[in-house]
Amino acid sequence: MTHEPKALVYLFDSVFSANPMNYVSNMFLSAAIHTRFFLPQIHALSKCDLLPENEVDNIIDWSESTAALENAILERSEDETRRLLSRNLLEALRQLELNLAMIPVSSKTNEGITELGAFIERIFKGGEKITY
């Protein structure tokens, strides 16, 4: 790899991530990528225009609170084995302490694009504008 500044934007598919067990799976994939590259990482909730606003808000809540995610897992999973597995995976993620903000984005409506750009600028330039 070159020595130029780098960051990763990990995309969470909004429709897939609306299920809390799938969200946990996505978090594990994100953690695997993070441990492979050890670069600054941004979580972006892609295609957020495909979900109702309350479902996007739920996913954002899960990214900010492991307790909210754990409650969603308990509420939505009828299969005890899947629920236990998801809770154990969530506990492993909690121990990694990868607390990353989730930015909802949509290329269709341009929602979140400015916020994503600002986040990238903070990583690379401490908030100053990137010039090319």
pLDDT band at 35 (very low <50, low <70, confident <90, very high): confident
Local structure of residue 42 (DSSP, 8 states): E
* E-strand stretches of 28-68: 41-46
CB 89, CB 36: distance < 8 Å: no
Residue ranges per structural domain of the chain: 14-125
Task: Enumerate helices (H) and strands (E) in the chain, giving the number of each.
Answer: 6, 3
Whole-angstrom distance, CA of residue 17 vs CA of residue 26? 7
Q: Which two tokens stand for residue 120?
A: 């990238």
Token pair listed for 49: 């225009």
Q: Are strands 102-104 and 41-46 parallel, antiparallel or unpaired?
A: parallel
Q: Identify the CA nearest to 67 among candidates 26, 118, 20, 7.
A: 20
Q: What is the CATH code of the structural domain delimited by 14-125?
A: 3.40.50.300
pLDDT level of residue 3 (50, 70, 90 thresholds): confident
Which pLDDT band, with edges at 50, 70 and 90, does 44 fall under? very high
Q: What is the DSSP letter of 4?
A: S
pTM: 0.83
Tokens at residue 115, please? 């916020």
Give the tens place of pLDDT for each residue, 101-123: 799 999 999 999 999 999 888 88
What contacts 8, CB < 8 A, 6 or more positions away? 33, 34, 37, 39, 40, 41, 42
